Amino acid sequence: MSRRRKVAIWLLVLGALHGVVLCAGFFAPYDPVEQDRKSPYLPPMRLHFVDMRGQFHLRPFVYVLQLRPASFDQYVEDTTRPRPLKFFTFGDRYRLLGFLPSRLHFFGAGDERIYLLGTDAFGRDQLSRLLFGGQVSLLAGLLGAGFTLLIGWCIGAAAGYYGGWRDDLLMRVAELFLALPWLYLLFAIRAFLPLTVNPLQAFFLIVAVIAAVGWARPARLVRGIVLSAKERDFVRAARGFGASHLYLLRRHILPETSSVLLTQAAILIPQYVLAEMTLSFLGLGVPEPVPSWGNLLSNLQQYSVLVSYWWMYLPALIMVPFFLGYLGLASALQERAEAYKIQRRSFGSLA
Amino acid sequence: MELLLKVENLVKRYARRNFAGARQEFLALDGVSFAVSAGTTLAIVGESGSGKSTLASCIACLETPTSGNLWFEGTNLVQAAERELRKIRPRIQLIFPDPASSLSARWPVFGILVEPLVLQGKLNRNEMKKRGFSLLERVGLSPDIAWRPPSELSGGQRQRLAIARALALDPVLLILDEALSALDCSVQAQIANLLLELQSSLTMTLLFITHDLTMAAHLADEIAVMSHGRIIEHGPSAEVLRNPRQEATRQLLAAVPRLPRAPLPAAQQ
Amino acid sequence: MMRYLLRRLAHAFLLVIGVSILAFLFTTLAPGNYFDEMRLNPQIAPETLVALRTQYQLNRPLPVRYASWVNSVLHGEMGFSFAYNTSVAPLLLLRAKNTLILTVTATLLAWAIALPLGVWSAERLGQFPDRLISWSTAALLVVPDLALALGLLVLALRTGWFPTGGMASVDFESLSSLNKIRDLALHMALPVATLVLSALPLLVRHVRAAVADVLDAPFLLAAEGHGIPRRTLLFRYALPAANPLVSLFGFSIGALLSGSLLVEVVMSWPGLGPFLLEAILARDIYVVIGGVLFSTIFLVAGNFLADMLLYWVDPRIRSASTPG
């Protein structure tokens, strides 16, 4: 398979995954903050296609859950009350992509509540919270990675191009940032910022903090590329035509950094999403009631929850397909960069 | 004939850090002095590591010498400000040893060719197109390679392209840093003849850097021999070839493979 | 040799100082301090707060605070903890020791597994065992540490094979020496397992790549021709030549330290992690600075060790740094 096709496929996969999260309002049946105090810690409702009489239905359905007699948190399916799934139904109001008001949902069960991934202590639908939480976590990761790469790019390019004492100074500072284990640095920065903030501020705070932590490694990589590109003959030739520094950077040197930046992006984004999850899990990130993948897991710190309600663990695994997608993308990009390098090297040796 | 270029006591020192962190210094040019008259060809000959390429870079204003003077058309290049240098650089053009690395792999042939014109910004698109094609013709390249990537050209074609590009801004001094060394023998001859022809028709001054003494004699009026960052011998080519005074020059002569005495073959058809 | 050592040492020292300054700089960004909580309490007079602030020097300019903090470090105190009302150093040292136990064990174990696995994989590049290992490491790589930690915790809770938190059982003191070690090992098992599992995939991949590169080298072929046994060949000739590995060692220490932060919190291991978290939530600045500094010292020390290892192993650096 051609390398370009590989990259395209992974991009498609990631695009689909992100797309579902982007349209969380559509795919999620309910509002993530809506509580249902009558149904705390409901286990996930199983989808059935064959009913009690052995008849196959094309439309999947679930059974309403009832409390087992003489128990306060054990549920059984009430097989006398099947509830079919309805697709493309109208339900709670939401804003698609943040601004289009809509009431159309991918699926629902009419007036009945359907919980495909169970509920939490407040009876909130975990599936909806998972989808909306993804918006927060993924956005934090994407924005954070974007800013880090921007900062690292600028600093690395400056260090590599100007060289001399500027290069030494910038790289020493980068070493400082690299000398700290990243989670400790993240904590330290977060420590020195206000603890009680509203969810929106908390979000931007996290993004800023995450972005401030990781610029050093991309900066070093970009610096290396700029340093070697600067000495390439075609760059020197352009200088010979009277090119200004800005022109050289813009037209010749910085385009060389594009492949490294893309690969770094594919590597950093999942790490940053994970960083947000870690912060929120520990209570230093996005606060309740706004869902994020991290704070969906935070009540798992109570062992009783961890043991009794297994579906609360699921958000921990939601990163796996995303990680997989980004890993595949990063590998495919690295392969392409290697191949291009080899191609260029052999181009140079032809006489 | 007036002097176009006068080099006085040029010194260039490099400071490096090796990967254990220790500082090491390297003296590339150790007080080089010579002069070139307008319209002539000077060949600078020496073995690898003698400092020839450093000299070329310094004259082309791509490196700053550590000390000394470099007089070009009345200006001292060593002391000129960056803005002044930017205006002077187009008048001194450098052709690099490796034809592939001096051409950006990402652009098509025509883009590479007109880049100097684009940088100068004095011509409009049509004028640039005309000039580009006329340059291609001048160096003997066919116009239908204009939109190919440089990887599809042969070594000789790439070097012609590099020369065409260098000519775009009408330089008065053309420096050829081992420009023929990477090419096959027959192609070397072709390009050498092209250069001679261009020099006479465009009245340029050529600075020809090479380790091939025979080629130097064929192309240049004067030869300067470099060794360990210094000029050890300088004189008219015939003189230097017949009566080499320094041991190093004799060794260079001895290194050239002996072929029957005959003029170099003209361009192959 | 000494010159190189001293130079790297000075470098490490400057790094630690730089980090401490950086950490201090961050305090200027912080609105709010330890006493904000108290401010909300109507029973405490504002004058008391001001007095407390002066007592703890929170109202002095930054360079002065830094200077007095450095002074405190030189006296072995490392500043003052507001929450515990004592100097920071003894608190941190105890916790740091626990974190070290965890991290060092995990690092050694991870490398002890990764090296043979990686070499074995590199030898059989492209064949079934190699592919199996590649797939398993990829599978492990995509599972976040958090999921691993929580998952192992569930395992412990369900099966009861391992204790589910802490570092020692309640009756630790009364156990015999052998049982003490056994008790410690049982408590360490889960956290170490999490750390090793999270670090393993990247390590194995890098070892495999580095060794695969080296296996092609002519000098190995020559050594084989001399009749040197396979195992010696791999571990005494090929491995040291795989240069990037030693710098990977330094990098892996940093990753494991960060990882240990989370693992300690989840598994209630009494190390720097939970302590730091607590201090952050309580705005106990000097503890936070001290904790960050400790982790940096560990990392820098680890990298220094890696540098020394590299020097010992790679003759190129040895000759490059000796004069002559």
Distance of alpha carbon A58 from alpha carbon A75, whole angstroms? 26
Distance of alpha carbon C119 from alpha carbon C122, whole angstroms? 5
Q: Of the ranges A12-16, B164-168, B257-261, which one carries the lowest mean pLDDT score?
A: B257-261
Which among A240, A344, A349 is the nearest to B105, CB-wise?
A: A344
Q: Of the ranges A199-208, A225-234, B55-64, which one carries the lowest mean pLDDT score?
A: A199-208
Cβ pairs A/C, distance under 8 A: 134
**Are the beta carbons of A213 and A186 closer than 8 angstroms?**
yes
Interface of A with B in 128-157 (CB under 8 A): none
Distance (Å) from the alpha carbon of B178 to chain C's nearest alpha carbon: 32
Confidence of residue A145 (pLDDT cuts 50, 70, 90): very high
User: pLDDT value at position C320?
Assistant: 59
- Full 3-state SS string of chain C: CHHHHHHHHHHHHHHHHHHHHHHHHHHHHCCCCCCHHHHCCCCCCHHHHHHHHHHCCCCCCHHHHHHHHHHHHHCCCCCEECCCCEEHHHHHHHHHHHHHHHHHHHHHHHHHHHHHHHHHHHHCCCCHHHHHHHHHHHHHHCCCHHHHHHHHHHHHHHHCCCCCCCCCCCCHHHCCHHHHHHHHHHHHHHHHHHHHHHHHHHHHHHHHHHHHHHHCCHHHHHHHHCCCCHHHHHHHHHHHHCCHHHHHHHHHHHHHHHHHHHHHHHCCCCCHHHHHHHHHHCCCHHHHHHHHHHHHHHHHHHHHHHHHHHHHHCHHHHHHHCCC
Distance (Å) from the alpha carbon of C40 to chain A's nearest alpha carbon: 14
The residue-averaged pLDDT of C271-297 equals: 83
B143-162 per-position pLDDT tens digit: 888 888 888 888 888 888 99
User: pLDDT value at position C316?
Assistant: 64
Determine contact: B21 vs chain C, CB below 8 A.
Answer: yes
A241-297 per-position pLDDT tens digit: 888 888 888 888 888 888 888 889 998 899 899 888 988 888 888 887 888 898 888
Which among A176, A191, A324 is the nearest to C18, CB-wise?
A: A176
- Which of A128, A122, A115 lies closest to A44, judged by CA? A115
A43-64 per-position pLDDT tens digit: 888 888 887 788 888 888 888 8
Residue linked to tokens 């290194």: B255
CB-CB neighbors (< 8 A) of C32 in chain A: 194-195
The token pair that represents C154 in the structure block: 């569930």
Interface of B with A in 66-95 (CB under 8 A): 86-87, 89-90, 92-94
User: pLDDT value at position B189?
Assistant: 84
Rounded to two decimals, the ipTM of the complex is 0.80
* pLDDT greater than 60 at residue B163: yes
CB-CB neighbors (< 8 A) of C285 in chain A: 191-192
CB-CB neighbors (< 8 A) of C151 in chain A: 313, 316
The radius of gyration computed from the CA coordinates of chain B, to the nearest angstrom, equals 19
Q: Taking CA atoms, what residue in B is nearest to C1?
A: B20
Q: Taking CA atoms, what residue in A is nearest to C22?
A: A176
The answer to whether the CB atoms of B115 and A241 lie below 8 A apart is: yes
Q: For chain B, how many residues are written?
A: 269
Determine contact: B110 vs chain A, CB below 8 A.
Answer: no
The answer to whether the CB atoms of B92 and A242 lie below 8 A apart is: no
The residue-averaged pLDDT of C4-16 equals: 81
Q: Taking CA atoms, what residue in A is nearest to B169?
A: A241
Determine contact: A184 vs chain C, CB below 8 A.
Answer: yes
The token pair that represents C238 in the structure block: 């090929």
Start-to-end C-alpha separation, chain C = 13
Distance (Å) from the alpha carbon of A334 to chain B's nearest alpha carbon: 19
Distance of alpha carbon C219 from alpha carbon C319, whole angstroms? 20
User: pLDDT value at position A154?
Assistant: 92
C119-168 per-position pLDDT tens digit: 888 888 778 888 888 888 888 888 888 888 888 888 888 887 787 777 77
Q: Of the ranges A118-127, A187-196, B83-92, C50-59, which one carries the lowest mean pLDDT score?
A: C50-59
The radius of gyration computed from the CA coordinates of chain C, to the nearest angstrom, equals 24
Distance (Å) from the alpha carbon of C192 to chain A's nearest alpha carbon: 18
Confidence of residue C53 (pLDDT cuts 50, 70, 90): low
CB-CB neighbors (< 8 A) of C7 in chain B: 21
A313-325 per-position pLDDT tens digit: 888 888 899 998 9
Neighbors of chain B by Cβ distance (3+ pairs < 8 Å): A, C
HSE-up of residue A79 (Cα within 13 Å, Cβ side): 6
Tell me how crowded residue C164 is: count the other CB atoms within 10 A of its CB. Answer: 18
pTM of the entire structure? 0.80
C197-226 per-position pLDDT tens digit: 999 998 888 888 888 777 777 777 777 777
- Which of C45, C54, C29, C81 lies closest to C290, judged by CA? C81
Confidence of residue A192 (pLDDT cuts 50, 70, 90): low
Determine contact: C2 vs chain B, CB below 8 A.
Answer: no
Determine contact: A247 vs chain B, CB below 8 A.
Answer: yes
Does C89 or C320 have the greater pLDDT score? C89
Residue linked to tokens 């002044």: B84
The answer to whether the CB atoms of B22 and C317 lie below 8 A apart is: no
CB-CB neighbors (< 8 A) of A242 in chain B: 86-87, 89-90, 116, 119-120, 169
User: pLDDT value at position A219?
Assistant: 92
* pLDDT greater than 80 at residue C1: no
Distance of alpha carbon C191 from alpha carbon C102, whole angstroms? 8
The residue-averaged pLDDT of C239-268 equals: 80
Determine contact: A215 vs chain C, CB below 8 A.
Answer: no
The answer to whether the CB atoms of B120 and A348 lie below 8 A apart is: no
* pLDDT greater than 60 at residue C38: no
Percentage of chain C lying above the pLDDT 90 cut: 5
Distance (Å) from the alpha carbon of C112 to chain B's nearest alpha carbon: 29
CB-CB neighbors (< 8 A) of C164 in chain A: 303
Distance (Å) from the alpha carbon of A301 to chain C's nearest alpha carbon: 7
Range among A69-78, A127-136, C204-213 rated most confident: A127-136
Q: Taking CA atoms, what residue in A is nearest to B16?
A: A164
Confidence of residue C324 (pLDDT cuts 50, 70, 90): very low
The beta-strand segments (E) located in chain B are 3-17, 23-37, 41-46, 67-72, 75-76, 92-95, 173-177, 205-210, 222-227, 230-236
The token pair that represents C127 in the structure block: 């064949």
Q: Taking CA atoms, what residue in A is nearest to C279?
A: A191
* pLDDT greater than 90 at residue C52: no
User: pLDDT value at position A349?
Assistant: 41
Determine contact: A181 vs chain B, CB below 8 A.
Answer: no
A153-181 per-position pLDDT tens digit: 999 999 988 888 888 888 888 888 887 77
Determine contact: B23 vs chain A, CB below 8 A.
Answer: no
Phi then psi for residue A84, to 5 deg, are: -75, 150
- Which of B136, B109, B114 lies closest to B125, judged by CA? B114
The answer to whether the CB atoms of A303 and C259 lie below 8 A apart is: no
The token pair that represents A54 in the structure block: 């052995």
Distance of alpha carbon B56 from alpha carbon B32, whole angstroms? 12
Distance of alpha carbon C256 from alpha carbon A308, whole angstroms? 30
User: pLDDT value at position B269?
Assistant: 43
Which among A239, A244, A347 is the nearest to B62, CB-wise?
A: A239
